[in-house]
Amino acid sequence: MSESKSLISQAFQTFMREAPEHAQAWGGMVQNLAQASALDSKTGALAYLSVLAALRIESGVPFHVQAAKKAGASRQEVISAILVGLPAAGHVVTQALHAAIATYDAG
């Protein structure tokens, strides 16, 4: 299994395998939204991590940490992105910290 494949959650891997047409449509929509964004890739990746942490979607954190790192985000920027929602969402955002740091440090 490739490194990037291992960062994709089991749920999303199942989605891609069992509903490839839906997954392709989803991927196209995601790409179109990224192209429409005024944010650069690093800022967008960090903002996405903030949303994942606030919504408690920890399964997506490893993949998106890797994307942020590839876009040039530092370890401290990743941590700050996870914690930016602390005042609004509360300490639930800290649930994403372990996976974010472990992923960043691993590769």
pTM of the model: 0.87
- As a whole number of angstroms, the distance between CA 32 and CA 71 comes to 18
**Alpha carbon distance 4, 84 (integer Å):** 26
Q: Print the domain residue range for 46.
A: 3-106
Q: Which residues contact 24 (CB under 8 A, 6 or more apart)?
A: none
pLDDT in tens, 28-70: 999 999 999 999 999 999 999 999 999 999 999 999 999 999 9
- Strand extents, DSSP E, 14-106: none
Give the pLDDT confidence of 61-95 residue by residue, as tens digits: 999 999 999 999 999 999 999 999 999 999 999 99
Which amino acid type is present at position 11? A
CATH number of residue 65's parent domain = 1.20.1290.10
Q: How many domains does the chain have?
A: 1
